[in-house]
Amino acid sequence: MLQDFKNYQWRKIDIYLVLLATGLTYYGAQFIESAQSGLMSRQLQGLLLGVAAMLVTALIPYNFVLKFYWLMYAFCIAILLLVRFFGYSVGTAARWFEFGGIRLQPSELVKILLILFYAQFIMKHKDNLNTVRVILSCVGLIIPPFYLIFDQPDLSTSIMILVIFAVIMFVGGVSYKLVIAAFLVTIPSIILFINLVLQEGQTILTDYQRNRILAWLQPEKYAMTEAYQTSNAIMAIGSGQLTGKGLNNNVIASVKNGNFISEAQTDFIFAVVGEEAGFIGCCVILGLLFLIVLECIMVARKAKDLAGSIIAGGMAGLIGFQTFINIGVVTGLLPNTGLTLPFVSYGLTSLVSLFIGIGFVINVKLQTPRF
């Protein structure tokens, strides 16, 4: 560990990535406060906690941390089992722990820990990654956390777990033949899955999950129920036009001010941005997220080893695809999933977990070989 620490290239500390992540979080906090007064201070407290966690993870050599990869995996399974049996429930979903009024969602941390776990696992098996035994091992190991999250039920996060897994395998060096084969199997499987869950009496998804898909396919039929949120979000974004109605505005003809979007500070924060900051504000959010993803990809390309590439590439995939899904939901391109917008949506666990991931990306860059 000390030897790795001595090899840090301190001049390569990624201040650019730090500024992007903290700047985006602070910018998003303005809209969180507008969506629900009193939450900005808590989000900024989460930012401070996240920055502290980021500094810690940046300064402990990732090769040392990865030695405990099986403990990370066991911890993932343990906290998902604990939340299953002892977690805080809202309706039929048990996804959280609650301490002193603060709600923590373990599955957000699991995303980061699985990236670290697979970084080491694939690194150890990189020479025979494309063998049947290793591929099946990788698939077998993702099934338990996927199932435990899916059964909470949390379809959106379980989908993200599979997306992260696919990105990790691609960055890890899985054969292009397997990638093509996976696409050929996945696309018809998705079509078949949708057809199955739309059948009356199906037991794959809960009724509310099924209705979300129906609302996406037939929004006019569910305009006052499951499609209500998305329809109002689209209206809010469109009403902002180029420059928006202004932050914390008192415009009566406002979707946000009329409380037509529930929990706008979380899943639908992008609608608040669109209404209050307009097209320009939306471009600022998307631009900052794009630059964060791009920087993670650049770090992945220059990493000293495969594990470092997987960590940085995995974070790029997590942030990039979660952004795409969140904005796809808000704009009606995808069914309502319940995923937050990285660094922008309100949520302590999500924010701190993302900063932990960014800390490991900085860690990877600090150990980039000299050129």
Q: Taking Cα atoms as reference points, which of 94, 107, 327, 88 lies closest to residue 206?
A: 94
Distances, alpha carbon 176 to alpha carbons 30, 90, 225, 351, in Å: 44, 42, 43, 34
Can you give the C-alpha Rg of the chain in angstroms? 21
The side-by-side arrangement of strands in the sheet containing 88-90 is 88-90, 93-99, 102-104
Answer yes or no: are the C-beta atoms of 149 and 99 closer than 8 Å.
no
What is the spatial distance between Cα 314 and Cα 112, in angstroms, rounded to a whole number?
A: 9
Phi, psi of 94 (to 5 degrees): -120, 95
Please name the residue ranges forming H helices in 87-125: 106-124
Residue 335, both tokens: 């069914």
Residue 155, both tokens: 């379809």
Distances, alpha carbon 108 to alpha carbons 35, 60, 217, 351, in Å: 23, 21, 29, 9
The pLDDT tens digits along the chain (371 residues) read 655 666 777 677 889 999 999 999 999 999 999 888 889 999 999 999 999 999 999 999 999 999 999 999 999 999 999 888 887 766 556 677 776 666 788 899 999 999 999 999 999 999 999 899 999 999 999 999 999 998 887 878 898 999 999 999 999 999 888 878 877 777 787 778 777 767 777 766 777 677 777 667 777 776 666 667 888 888 889 888 998 888 877 776 676 666 777 778 888 999 999 999 999 999 999 999 999 999 999 999 999 999 999 999 999 999 999 999 999 989 988 887 778 999 999 989 999 999 999 999 999 999 887 65
Tell how many helices (H) and how many strands (E) occur in the chain. 14, 3
Phi, psi of 263 (to 5 degrees): 55, 45
Answer yes or no: are the C-beta atoms of 311 and 115 closer than 8 Å.
yes
Is the link from the previous residue into 335 a cis peptide, with omega within 30 of 0? Answer: no
Q: Which amino acid type is present at position 329?
A: V
Question: Burial letters for 105-130: b for 16+ Cβ neighbours within 10 Å, e otherwise?
Answer: bbbbbbbbbbbbbbbbbbbebbeebe
Q: Taking Cα atoms as reference points, which of 282, 352, 354, 346 lies closest to residue 320?
A: 354
Domain boundaries, the chain: 2-366
Residue 332, both tokens: 């009606």
pTM of the model: 0.91
**What's the pLDDT score for residue 44?**
95
What is 318-357 written as a DSSP string? HHHHHHHHHHHHHTTSS----PPPTTTS--HHHHHHHHHH
Neighbours of 337 (CB within 10 A): 20
